[in-house]
Structure 1
Amino acid sequence: MDIIIRGENITVTSSLQDYAEKRISKLEKYFNAPIETDARVNLRVHNTEQVVEVTIPLQGLLLRAEVGEEDLYSAIDLAVSKLERQIKKYKTKLNRKGRHGAKQAIQNAGTTVTKTADEEETLSVVRKKHFVFKPMTVDEAILQMDMLGHSFFVFNNADDNSTAVVYRRKDGRFGLIDQE
C-alpha cells in the first residue's frame, strides 16, 4: 500500500510523515496479500482543530476516517483506530451473511476481481415510505427535520417548486441539495 500524505495550511514534517506512514501501514496486518492501492492522508488545520482525513479505496470497500483533535499525532491515532473498527465491522458483516470465503474477500480487497452476472450482489430496499410533499421554505424544512430528529429531510421547495433535501452536516450546520 502506497501512502500519499498531503498538508493543507500545514507543513508536513518528516517526523509527522514517518509517524503517519508507520501507523497507517499497520492496517496491512488485516490483509494476507499486499494491498495494491493508495492510502490518501490529508492533514489540515481547521480553526483550532488539527484534522486528519484518511481514505483507502479497496475493491468493493471504501475505508474512510476523519478526525479532528488538538494534537495531530492523536488525530492520526484516532483515525487509524476508526479504520481498524471499519475493517473489523466489515469482516464481521461478511461472516454473518454466511458467505463462504469471507476471509478471502477481505484479504483480496486490494486486488481487482471481475464478477459474473450471477455473482453480483443485489441491493434490496428494507423499508419504503410514501408521503405527500408539502411546499415549504428551507427554514420550515430545517425546523421540521429538527422536530422529527432526522439527519435529513426531503421537501417541495416553495421558492422554486422543486424537490430538495436539507441535511445536517458534521459541523452542525445545514446543507441543501436542490434540483437544477
Structure 2
Amino acid sequence: MQISTTFRHMEPSDALKSYAEEKLERIKKYIDEPVVVQVYLTVEKIRHIVEISINAKGVSTKASEATNDMYAAIDAVIDKIERQLRRYKERLKGHKPADAPERQVQKKIIAAEDLEQSKEPVVIKTKTVSIKPMSVDEAVMQMDLLHKDFLVFTDAGSDSINVIYRRRDGNFGLIETAK
C-alpha cells in the first residue's frame, strides 16, 4: 500500500502520519493490491479535517470528516471508507455467478487513416480479454467502475455473449445474441 500524507495549514506530525497509516491497514482486507492512498490533514481555525482518497485495482473511493480533534477525524473517516468498501465487496459477492467458465474474446482496432488509403482494413491493435459470466446488473456495475462506455460479458443465466452499452440519454442498452 502506497500512502502519501499531506499536511495543510499545520506542522507535519509523524505521530498523526503513523496513526493514519496504522488505521489504513484495516482496509487491506477489502481491496486488492496495488493500492494508492492519499491522506490530507487540514486545520481550519478549530476544525480538523481529514480527507482520504483511495485508488486500487478497479476501485476508487473518497471520504472526508471534520471534527474538533484530528485523531477522532481520522477514526471517523476510516470508518466511513471501511463501510463503503464493505458495501462494495458485498455487492460483488451478491452478483457473483456459479462457477462458470470464462471465455476469451479478441478486440481489434483499425485506424481511420488506413481505411482511407486502402480498400482493405488493417488491424492496428489486437487484445485478448477474458469474458466473465455475470448478471446484467453486475455488468452495469463493472462498466461504471471501469469508466467504460460498453462491456462485453457472458450472461450467467443463458450463457450467451451480450454487450451492454451506455446510451446518449444516460440509460443503458443491451445487445443479446441468439442461440
1:132-171 alignment, distance < 5 Å: none
Cα offsets for 1:137-172 (capped at 9, x unmatched): xxxxxxxxxxxxxxxxxxxxxxxxxxxxxxxxxxxx
Q: Note the residue ranges of structure 2 that are not aligned, 5 or more in a row.
A: 100-128, 132-150, 154-162, 173-179
Matched, 1:80 2:78: yes
Question: What is the TM-score of this pair, normalised by structure 2?
Answer: 0.54
1:3 match: 3
Q: Note the residue ranges of structure 1 that are not aligned, 5 or more in a row.
A: 102-113, 127-180
Cα offsets for 1:61-101 (capped at 9, x unmatched): 21211000100001001111011101111012223334468
Q: Measure the CA separation in 1 of the matches of 2:97 and 2:76.
A: 31
- Change over 3 Å in CA distance of 1:45–1:92 after alignment to 2: same
Q: Measure the CA separation in 2 of the matches of 1:51 and 1:16.
A: 13
1:97-176 alignment, distance < 5 Å: 97-99=95-97, 117-119=151-153, 122=165, 125=171
Report the secondary structure of 1:118's partner residue. strand
Cα offsets for 1:7-33 (capped at 9, x unmatched): 0101121111110110012211234x5
1:22 match: 22
Report the RMSD for the aligned CA atoms in angstroms.
Answer: 2.5
Cα offsets for 1:32-85 (capped at 9, x unmatched): x5x213200000012321000000012332121100010000100111101110
- Change over 3 Å in CA distance of 1:54–1:9 after alignment to 2: same
Indicate if the aligned counterparts of 2:35 and 2:57 stay in contact, CA closer than 8 A: no
Matched, 1:41 2:75: no
Alignment size in residue pairs: 112
- Alignment-mate amino acid for residue 85 of structure 2: I
Moved more, 57-66 or 4-13: 57-66
Matched, 1:53 2:51: yes
- Change over 3 Å in CA distance of 1:122–1:58 after alignment to 2: farther
- Change over 3 Å in CA distance of 1:8–1:125 after alignment to 2: same
Q: Measure the CA separation in 2 of the matches of 1:121 and 1:13.
A: 49
Report the secondary structure of 2:34's partner residue. coil
- Which of 67, 70, 74 is matched with 2:68 structurally? 70
Report the secondary structure of 1:12's partner residue. coil
- Alignment-mate amino acid for residue 35 of structure 2: T
1:142 match: none
- Alignment-mate amino acid for residue 92 of structure 1: E
Choose between structure 1 and 2: higher strand proportion: 2
